[in-house]
Each structure stands twice: as C-alpha cells, then as structure tokens.
Structure 1
Amino acid sequence: MTTVLVVEDDAAIRNNLARLLKLEGYAVSVAVNGSEGLAAARSLRPDVVISDINMPGLDGFALVEALRTDPALATTVVLMLTALDDRASMRRGMKSGADDYLAKPFTRDELLEALGALLKKRGRIEDSIRSAVQAREEDLRHAFLASLGGRPQDVPLLAQPPAGAQPQQDVEATVLFSDIRGFTSIAEKLDSNEVAQLLTQYFERTSVPVLRQGGQHLKFMGDGLMAVFTDEGGAGVGARRAVAAALALAVAAHDFRGWLQQRFADRGLPEFAIGVSLHAGGVTVCQLGTGPAKETTPIGDTVNTAARLQGASKELGWTVVASDAVLARAGSGVETGGRTSVEVRGRHAWLDIAEVLGLEAGGVPEADGLAVSAEDVRQAVEVNSEITARAVKGALRNKLSTMKDHQFGPGEEPPRLKGFRLVRKIASGHTTEVFLAEREADRLPVVLKVLQASATTEGASLARFIQEYALLSRLQVPHVTRIYDQGFSDDHAYIAMEYFERGDLRGELRAGMMTERVVDVVRQVAEALQVVHAQGIIHRDLKPENVMLRRDGTVALADFGVAKALHQDTSLGLAETRHGEVVGTPYYLSPEQARGGAVTPASDLYSLGVMFHEMLTGQRPFTGETLDLLLARHLTAPPPPLPPDLGALQPIMDRLLAKAPGDRYRDAQALLDDLGRPELLRTFSG
C-alpha cells in the first residue's frame, strides 16, 4: 500500500486531504508543521510527502531541502501545495527538490491526477535503476564465470556512448584502474554478506588516497575501482596525481591486509594483493539518465586500455603499471623498475609500459575537495559491494550446477574450474558428485567433490562440507589429505583434494595385513592425530574407509566432514553436533559417542583401537545383530583378547579400547611412544 504523509498547518485542508486519500486506498499520516513532518518522514519513510509551503517554523522549502539531504529520504516523492498566483514559490519549490506542485484551491481529480502521475514517474525511475543494477550484476556474473573457467576476467566497460547518453565534455586525463588479484578465490571462501563486508571495507579505505589526490568520476565495478585525473592546475598535474594515488593505493591495500587477516584468520584465504594500472589520453565524460538515476560516466579507449593493462600487470607481477603516455606527462621524479611492451587485449596494438616504484617526495600537491563527496562514495561502495557479492556467488553457483550435471559425452569440451579440468565422474550420491580432475598447470590428478544442499539436508551437509576444508587447510602434515582449493556459494560447494589411485585401507585390510604393516599404519594415523588434536580438531569418524593409501604405501587421514573443532568459533557457521546426536560409523564409535556424550581426542584413539584390532585379526572387536546391541557392546563389553602370537600388543589394545576416556592414552604421542618401545619393535620387525 502506498503511504502518504500530509504536512499542512491548516486543519481543514489537512483533514480533507487525509480523508480523501484514505478513501482512495492510501495509508495516510499527518503532521501540523515542517518540523513535525520531518520527524514523521524519518520515522515512517513514506512513499509521498504532500506539503504546504507557508508554515510556522520549518517551512515547506526547508522541509524539502532536509528530505533531499537525508540518504534514506532523498528519493521520496514530494508534492508541494502553493497559492494559485505564487509562481515564484513554484519555481523555488522545484529548485529545492520538489517533484511537482499543486495550486490551491484544487479539486479531488486534480489531486489524484497529480499524485498518480508522480507515482508513475517514480515507478519508471525505479524500474530504470533496477534494470541497470540487474544488467550490471549480469555483466559481473559473466565476468566471474569466465574467471572461474580459467579465462581472463573482463568486466565490460564502455567504449562508445550508449543510447540516450549525453556527452558533456572531452578531456585529456589520466585514468586509474585498480582491482583485487584473485578476487574470486577469496570470495569463494566467504559467504555473500562477508564478501560485501570485505569490499566495503576495502573500497572505503582505498578511496581516500584517490579522493585526496583529486580523483574524479569514481566508479566501482565489481572488485575494481576507476578514477579520472584531469590536468586542472597545469599540464601533467593529473598524471602526477594519478601516480601518487596509485602508490598510496598500494600502501592502503597493505594496511587492509592486516584487517583481512584478523577478520578471517581461520578461513585459509589466499594472499591479498591488488594491481593498479594507469593510462593517459582522451576521455569523454557522459551523463547517463536523468533525475535520481543520473550518472556521470567516463568512456573511451583510454578507459578501456587502463582497465585491460591489469592483465599485463598480473602476468608481470607488478603492483603499479603505467604506460609511457602517463610517464611522459608526469615528468621527472617517477621511479620505475622493469619496462616492456605489451599487446593490450582487445586493442590490437602494442603499448610501452613500466613498473612504478615511487615518486619524488613533495612532487604532488594534495587536492582535497576536487573529487566527489565522501557520502556519495560511501553509497556507491555499498551498492557495488552488494551487487558484486551476489554476482560472484551466483557465478560460482552456476558453474558448480553446470559441472554437476555434465554428462562427459564424446567430443564435448570438459568443464574447467579454477585451473582444474574435469576428466570423468567417479561417484554420484544424493547431494554429492565426485569427479576425477586434472590440475592444468602440472597435470596432477585430483579429486573434485561438488555438493548441493537441498531442503532435506537443512544446510547441515553443506556446512560440514565447508568445515572439512576449513579444518584441513590449516594442516600441512604428511599423513593428512592434501587440499588444493575450495569454494562455496549459497547452496553449492566444491573441494579439490588429493587423489589416491590405490583407494582406501579397506581393500588392503580385506586381503590380510602383516603385523609389521599394521603397526606401521597405526603409527602413521597416530602421527596425523597428534597434529590434528594439537590444532583442537577431533575427527569423530575414524575408520578404514577414511584412511587413504598413497602410491608409496604411506597413508593419509581423510574425510573430516563430521570433524569438530574443540575451540570452534560458532560465528564461522561451521557444523556443530547437538548434545545427544550420534555421529560416526557405528562399528568404530567410542562409548561416549554411542551414548551421545561429549567427544574428546580420546574418542578418536578408541576408534583407532577398533581399526587396530580389525587389521590384526580380520574381525571387528564388537558386533551386534541390531544397532542397539552393537552400541551396548561398545558401552559395556570388554575388549576381546588378541591371538597368543600378538600378546605383546594386548596392553596397547586394552588401553585404546578402555570404556572410560580417562583410562585410554592421554594423547596420540603417548601411543606413539608405546609403539616405539625397542622390545616391541624387535618382536614385530622382519
């Protein structure tokens, strides 16, 4: 329902207006003067304000000006009421920001016609803004999809004025373009709100040096920032200010890295870095749209070249790159490093560029006040951050959905994701697809899991899937599965991990294992658990299927999907098991897990004891015809004795399978110490 606020000091007019509008289906509030009207507008956020001009205290002109300076009310439709012959007030009201006026006295039809026309106009403007936002988001989504597929990311820029654009001026200027290196790799490891927060923090910090050096026409495009530096104040001043702003951007980005590491310390984010490129030449400044939707946009070949120089800077590893056109205008005092010529993609011409390392101190005057207002920048940053977050997460969702449904038909181009090329599907489940993939850089085979959360999973599977990477990425140890990459959207996730062509331990166990091999496997798993537990992580589902075999015979602990951090930060959104919920595989559950109690590192050691017994004897120590009976035996049945020839291992087995956690080994290192006793090694060596 459309809401209308009537601000009128004449009680008769105020009451008539309210009654008439209510009869027409509008939700109406009233105020008796401008001050009360402004307070009501800030509280109610009405769609329309109908205000008289001549009121005591805050008059109608001042009310309109106050509304237009409030970001939350700046686009509110305002209809002013004036005397029939007061043309000066009409002009002043429109200049103050009113959308239309209505001369007193007026009829019901005149009021409804004016109000209807304003609402229709507002709807067109909102549709225009909405369409522009959707188009921009779609452009970003395509650019991020290209990046995910291994192609260069290219956020579309304008080379020619679009239909309806009004060129305002042609200027000689230096264009600065910056973006975040590997932004999609960072964004994949955060949720949409966190991506938006990251971008907002980043742009608010990095906009400061650009504004200080007189950057104009700031635009935010995904993870990119563009600004134009004209030569106001003398030839070459714009180029020097652009160089100073670029170097200051690099410093601001370095400071931002500290915030990022603190805010997302446990996410395993890739190293944060930016690239800044500069190019000088002719720029056309256009005005797009009108009224609230008006936007000033620099366009032309200089703008596109500055943006596309980013590709060259990434390949060369330079933070700030400038074309010779910029260096020639900037004059002396610019410190440069490497130099080369590059063919700019889409330009079909070679460009001489240099790495910029510094600028002579005091060579550039600060230019506060030449750029747009900080409030305008803040609003632009917020809108861009939200659009970009939706676009990058949507692109990943589209990519993973396409991969999940790929059929690998003959002659079809295999899907690619972040430098991985899918080879074939290994397994398929209700929510998870598992692929064999190849890392294109070195042809290393990897396993790529793709999971889709559904309404039936209530997000738990996705959260645990994400947790698997978050935990494993912190561990760089020989006997834990290696993780190469991971990302997630709102309802899809992927993880690229080590491929084990020999499969898991179950196959070797079925074939029968020598005692020396069993002890060696237990030792390797214990070494993994020692590191895992020291990091505050409990596996909770230790079993032969989660111990993988490498080609050289060593083993690696895998599948931390139900692992739990001992000191888990619930703000990370990781899966957490409710008290009383049984998680794990029943044959390998500890007694405390069987009763739904708290898990500790000793719980993993119990599960390792079950595996130890099974590898030695070929039989699980506890079985049952029903789940209840099996769980009861975990809780009460004593460990079965080992065969006589394995008697030296019985004390170790008894401690591992003790019912009370306190009666087991205090940690995995204590188990390793016991397994390393010289007399035990002599018994089972050779």
Structure 2
Amino acid sequence: MTTVLVVEDDDAIRNNIARLLKLEGYDVVPAIDGVAALEKVREVRPDVVISDISMPQMDGFALLEAIRADATIASTPVMLLTALDDRASMRRGMTAGADDYLAKPFTRIELLEGLTGLLKKKVRLEQSIEQAVSAHESGLRQAFAESLAGRKPADRFGLETPQGAVAEATLHATVLVADIRNFTSLAERLGAPEVTELLTGWFERITVQGLRHGGAHLKFLGDSLVALFPDAPGAPASSSGARRAIAAALDMALAAHDFRGWVEHRFPQRALPPFAIGIGLHTGPVTLYREASSNESTAVGETVNIAARVEAASKELGWTVAATVDVLQLAGEGVATRAMTSLEVRKATFVDAAEITGIAADVSGATGEAQRSEELAAALQVNSEITARAVKGALQSRLATLKTHRFAPGEEPLRLRGYRLTRKIGSGGMTDVYLAERDDDGLHVVLKVLDASGKNAAEHLTRFIQEYALLSQVQHPHVVRIHDQGFTDDHAYIAMEYFPAGDLRTELSGGMSQDRVLDVLEQLAQALQAIHAHGIVHRDLKPENVMRRADGSVALADFGIAKSMLGGENFALTTTQHGDILGTPYYLSPEQAGGHAITPASDLYTLGVMLYEMLTGERPYRADALEQLLALHLNAPVPKLPPEHAVFQPVLDHLMAKDPAERFSSAAVVLAELGQRQLLRTLQPKLQ
C-alpha cells in the first residue's frame, strides 16, 4: 500500500486530506508540524510527503531542507501546499528541491492528480536508474545503489579481492580516487538517461586528464574514478607517479570547474546542487587482479583503501585535492600546499595529509601553466566553497534535528558523524547535552549541542567555539578530554569525555577526608598548571566544574568563559565590568569582583575557596545579596580553618590573599607547598 505523510498544523485541513486519501486506498500518516514530520519520515519512510509551508517549530521549507540533507531519506518526493498567489514561496520551495506544489484552496481532483504524478515520476526514476546502471560495468550497479542509499562507493575500494580474480602483478604506484560531491542529490533530480549523460560527460573529461599524465588501470565505480600512476624504477622525482598524479588531480579540478558550467547550462532551473569533486592521493604497493568475467584489471590493497579514505575526509575539511605526506615526499619540490592535518584512515591508524593547491610549471607536464595558475586557484576555491557549504548545510540540519528530537524507548539511536546518541542527559540556556557512543569503539561521550540562532547568538557561539579552541591545546589527565567538534553559523557541537560519577559537589556534600582533599587539590593544581602554561585562565573554578572518574581522579571541565592570555588580545590588560561579572559569585576572586585585570592568580584564589569548602563543608563567605558577597571577597579577612585542619592554614592564606601579588606565584609553587604540608601531616603524630 502507498504511504502518504500529511503535514499540516490546521486540524481541519489535515483531517480532510487524510480522509480523502484514505477513501482512495492510501495509507495516511498525519503530522502536526515539521519536527514531528521529520521523525515520521525517518521512521515510516513514506512514498510521498505532502506538507504545508507555514507551521510552528519547523516550517515546510525547513522540513524540506532537512529531508534533502539526510542521505537516507533525501530522495523522498515532497509536495508543498502554498497560497494561490504566493509565487515567492513556490520559487523558494522548488529551488530547495520540492517535487511539486499545490495552491490552496485546491480540489479533490487537483490533489489526486498531483499525487499520482509524483508516484509515477518516482516509479519512472527507479526503473530508469535500473536501466542506466545495468548499462555500465559490472561493479557500477552496486556502487550506484550504495550511493543513493547514502553509502559512499569509496567504502568498498580495495577491501575485497574480486571473486574468481587472479593476481596479475604487484607494483608501486600512486592511487588517485576522484569522487563527485552531492551525487545523491544530483541523481535524484535527474532521469536515468540524464544521469548517464552527466556521468559519461564527466568521465570523458577526467579520463583525458588521467591518461595525459600517465594514469593506468582507470576504473569507474559509481560516481568515482580510481586511477594508478605507477613508478618506474630509477625514475627522477620530476616524472614520478606521485608527481604525475598530483598534476592529473589539479587538471581534473580545472575540468570540474568547466564542467560545472556545462551542467548548469544543460539542466537549467532544476535546482541541482553545484557540481563539485574531491580527490584523494596515496602511494604504496598495489596488487592488480585480472577479473575472469570482464578481463579487466582491478587494483586491490591498503594503498587504495587509504586513498579512498583521504578523499572521503577531504569533504569535511573542504579540500578539493588531498594527498598524504608519502605522496608529497615522492613528488619532489615545487608542490604547493595550504594546510596539513592528521586523518584517521582506520581505527587507531592515522596518516598525515595536506591540501594540494599547485605544482611548479617546469616539471608538471601541463601546458599553459603560467596562464592556468590563476584559473586553478579560482577553480580550487570555488570547488572547496561548494563542498564546505554542502557539509555545513547537512550538519546544520542534523544539529537542528537534535534540538527537537524526542528519545523514545527502544528506538533506533540518532546518529551524528560517527556517534550514536542514546539519550538526552541535560539542558541549560541554549545548550543541550546528550549521552552518545562512538561507533568505532563504543566509547561513551558527552555531546554538547549549542543552538545560537536566538538572542545574543554571536556571543554564545563565540564562547562555545572558544571552549573547544582552548581545550584542544591542552592534553592533560586532569583536564577534560575533547574528542570532536563541528560548527555552523547557528549551531555547534563538542564531543567530550563522559563522567558517569558526576561532579565534585556530590562528594563534597557527603564530607571529604583530609587525604581526599589533598588528593583533589593536587590534581586541580596540576590542571591549572597545565592550562596556565598554555596562557589560559579558567575564571569559573567550582565543584560543579570538577568532574570525577571511576578511578577517583578528577578533571577540570567547562571552559565556556575561560580566556586566553595569548594571541591578539592579552587578557591580563583587560577588565571585567561590574555589570558583566563572569563566574559564580561564591567563588569569585577579588579582582573579578572589583572589575580588575584577571590573571592565573585569579584561579589560585578560587582554588583556595574550594580548599576551605572541601575541608569544612561550608563556603568561606556567605551573604544575602550579591553586593554584600562581592564586598566580602574584596575586604573580608581570610577565614580561619578549624584546629584539626590548621596544617592547611598557611596554604589557604596564600591562596586567598586579597592582593594577587601576595598569592603563590604559580600552580607549580602550590604543588610544592602541598608536598611539604603532606610531609608535615605525616610527621605530626610522631612528634606528639
């Protein structure tokens, strides 16, 4: 039975459409807004979605964009309901990828005819795709189907030896993997003959470039090309396979720039995503197998796998051509790069890769090099911008979905870039917090997702990005670990270490022994020593920001208002105004309370406040009003510890000194002092 999802916030209209379609034999699934509809699309996989445009929470345009951004449901036909004279909405909807629209008010006949047309189009597309893929080589059918299902053909490269194939030769070569970006979105908006025409036109262009630079054993898998550039024994770097592969990749990038114009001219007003490509390069041993069925050679091996993984990673990096350092070393001098990073090509295995932007003219083998340098730079920039926008748009839709997702018992976990979200564990302000598992190893992590689309969006997003930027500099056992991050204009997420034991507040409330207090204090001093060495002041040290692990160790967390003293702004020379107090009032340093310069000594004062609270179970200063509490931090003497804790009084006096210059000069000095106090505590019973 054909399933139709009807999305309409007006009960009367939704019920009328549902009743009409049920009488015609359709299975109807209702939804009152875009948020509920997106869940239904993923759960039910309807044959057609009929959606109103104006709805609360998520309107029809946002729903359409979210569907098109999710590869698993992107091909679902969508009909938008709009007002009769709303031409702007119609144009916007068609540009965003709507398959049809129906103007209100509409008749029963108009609704049924529109629905029938969409279903026929869907059937024709499925049939014509089958015809198209069967016309290609034997491996194309599976690869194309995987691409439409959201799985990249690159995930299969070189993983298995073709059945019945015979090893032919093993050679050292640079492997080039070229892939079309947004191919799923392109294919679903074209008929099969048009898809074939597009692929044929593109493959003809890049085959010319591959062969021109000595590429061999070219093979097409879906929308991807694999080519080998063998190394000749004793050949100089100027003619190495690595250098020829780089030259071919850059020429392919130029060809893609020209081909984009052909696509726009050939398929006008079809709302196609801009044509773009990605290329990955790696060098090493490659085994060739001869396939008995086609008498063609297929490249197999780890070198092919890594080239495919590098290409896949280049998408999120926004690079057009990415090559491993092994390729760069063999290519010789004159290869221009713009950025370098470490990529995980399989579990716990990393390679260093660089973005390739050019190659010297005298040995590249390309013609008209001087004239083409500016054209190449422009082509790479445009291609990278297209890729970055596509990735950013998909991430934006996914993060927006997280904000409204309802976790039902037993449901399939929601996914985000290698993580399975299992439940929501908290929220506050503009940030939601989720528990997730990493796909690779099942590691539990915390995902913090920020929606910065409302009031003061820029400030919140800046602080969120700053938290990751600061923490990514520090690798220390007593500082929270950061695993991953992603940002868009309105959303951001950070995947960080999960602490099942919670924060220090719970332990503090139950009472802490002197040994435990000393243990925690030393660990926090080590954490402060680490962040201060990177020019970072935490500014909000408190029990809620000290997280506990199962082994009893603690880690400093929540760097949302931390500040770097390095870079373009020296924070020690800036001030905090009374109207913009950052931090928790019970733990503020006098300089924070008074609006003066904040330095690492400010964190040491707060460490003293925590020392007093851990030993006594009470905060050193309490007041009924904020101004009174700030005055105590500014003027009240350092509180005295009970006699049983007197051994720590000198430490507390130095930590909580009102004048920063009278405090310990650094966290390292604090650690040395704590060591002496520990020795004194050990000797006291023997001296008495």
TM-score (normalizing by structure 1): 0.53
1:650 — aligned with what?
Answer: 649
1:541 — aligned with what?
Answer: 540
Query: Counterparts of 1:683 and 1:624 in 2: how far apart (Å)?
Result: 39
Deviation at residue 489 of structure 1 after TM alignment: 0.8
Shift in alpha-carbon separation, 1:366–1:440, aligned structure 2, 3 A:
closer
Q: Is the 8 A contact 1:173 1:229 kept in 2?
A: no
Deviation at residue 682 of structure 1 after TM alignment: 0.9
1:608 — aligned with what?
Answer: 607
* 1:587-666 → structure 2 map (5 Å cutoff): 587-666=586-665
Deviation at residue 430 of structure 1 after TM alignment: 2.9
2:243 — aligned with what?
Answer: 248
Query: Counterparts of 2:394 and 2:565 in 1: how far apart (Å)?
Result: 34
Q: Is the 8 A contact 2:286 2:303 kept in 1?
A: no
When the two chains are superposed, the root-mean-square deviation of aligned CA atoms in Å is 5.6
1:511 — aligned with what?
Answer: 510
Shift in alpha-carbon separation, 1:377–1:612, aligned structure 2, 3 A:
same
Query: Counterparts of 1:676 and 1:656 in 2: how far apart (Å)?
Result: 15
Listed one character per residue, the Cα deviations across residues 351-394 of structure 1 (whole Å, up to 9, x for unaligned) are xxxx9997999xx9924239994454344334323322222211
Query: Counterparts of 2:148 and 2:642 in 1: how far apart (Å)?
Result: 61
Query: Counterparts of 2:639 and 2:432 in 1: how far apart (Å)?
Result: 40
2:682 — aligned with what?
Answer: 682
Q: Is the 8 A contact 2:545 2:557 kept in 1?
A: yes
SS at match of 2:379: helix
Shift in alpha-carbon separation, 1:448–1:288, aligned structure 2, 3 A:
closer
1:331 — aligned with what?
Answer: none
SS at match of 1:676: helix
SS at match of 2:474: coil
Shift in alpha-carbon separation, 1:655–1:226, aligned structure 2, 3 A:
same
Q: Is the 8 A contact 2:209 2:251 kept in 1?
A: yes
1:566 — aligned with what?
Answer: 565
Query: Counterparts of 2:480 and 2:546 in 1: how far apart (Å)?
Result: 9
Shift in alpha-carbon separation, 1:288–1:415, aligned structure 2, 3 A:
closer
2:484 — aligned with what?
Answer: 485
Query: Counterparts of 1:447 and 1:596 in 2: how far apart (Å)?
Result: 34
Identity, % of aligned pairs? 46
1:495 — aligned with what?
Answer: 494
SS at match of 1:522: helix
Q: Is the 8 A contact 1:250 1:319 kept in 2?
A: no
Shift in alpha-carbon separation, 1:484–1:537, aligned structure 2, 3 A:
same
1:200 — aligned with what?
Answer: none
Q: Is the 8 A contact 1:464 1:561 kept in 2?
A: yes
| Unaligned residue ranges in structure 1 (runs of 5+) | 1-126, 136-141, 178-209, 216-223, 231-236, 253-274, 296-303, 326-334, 346-354
Listed one character per residue, the Cα deviations across residues 610-632 of structure 1 (whole Å, up to 9, x for unaligned) are 00000101111111110000000
Aligned residues: 439
1:557 — aligned with what?
Answer: 556
Listed one character per residue, the Cα deviations across residues 646-680 of structure 1 (whole Å, up to 9, x for unaligned) are 11111111111110000100001111111101643
Letter paired with 2:556: L
* 1:329-408 → structure 2 map (5 Å cutoff): 366-369=365-368, 373-408=372-407
Q: Is the 8 A contact 1:542 1:604 kept in 2?
A: yes
2:162 — aligned with what?
Answer: none
Q: Is the 8 A contact 2:585 2:630 kept in 1?
A: yes
Shift in alpha-carbon separation, 1:596–1:174, aligned structure 2, 3 A:
same
Query: Counterparts of 1:427 and 1:607 in 2: how far apart (Å)?
Result: 26
Letter paired with 2:682: R
Shift in alpha-carbon separation, 1:166–1:624, aligned structure 2, 3 A:
closer
SS at match of 1:650: helix
Letter paired with 1:682: T
Letter paired with 1:674: E
| Unaligned residue ranges in structure 2 (runs of 5+) | 1-90, 100-145, 157-178, 216-222, 268-274, 291-298, 310-325, 334-362
Listed one character per residue, the Cα deviations across residues 391-437 of structure 1 (whole Å, up to 9, x for unaligned) are 22111111111122221123432121222111110012231110111
SS at match of 1:459: helix
Shift in alpha-carbon separation, 1:685–1:162, aligned structure 2, 3 A:
farther
Deviation at residue 293 of structure 1 after TM alignment: 4.5
Query: Counterparts of 1:370 and 1:566 in 2: how far apart (Å)?
Result: 45
Shift in alpha-carbon separation, 1:146–1:653, aligned structure 2, 3 A:
farther
Query: Counterparts of 1:450 and 1:168 in 2: how far apart (Å)?
Result: 42
Listed one character per residue, the Cα deviations across residues 254-292 of structure 1 (whole Å, up to 9, x for unaligned) are xxxxxxxxxxxxxxxxxxxxx97999xxx9xx9897899
Letter paired with 1:439: R
Listed one character per residue, the Cα deviations across residues 529-561 of structure 1 (whole Å, up to 9, x for unaligned) are 111111111000000001111101111111111
Query: Counterparts of 2:151 and 2:597 in 1: how far apart (Å)?
Result: 44
Query: Counterparts of 2:600 and 2:546 in 1: how far apart (Å)?
Result: 17
Larger Rg: 1
Q: Is the 8 A contact 2:575 2:596 kept in 1?
A: no
Deviation at residue 482 of structure 1 after TM alignment: 0.9
Shift in alpha-carbon separation, 1:669–1:154, aligned structure 2, 3 A:
same
1:454 — aligned with what?
Answer: 453
Query: Counterparts of 1:372 and 1:529 in 2: how far apart (Å)?
Result: 55
TM-score (normalizing by structure 2): 0.53
SS at match of 1:426: strand
Q: Is the 8 A contact 1:468 1:560 kept in 2?
A: yes
Deviation at residue 491 of structure 1 after TM alignment: 1.1
Shift in alpha-carbon separation, 1:143–1:537, aligned structure 2, 3 A:
farther
Q: Is the 8 A contact 1:540 1:563 kept in 2?
A: yes
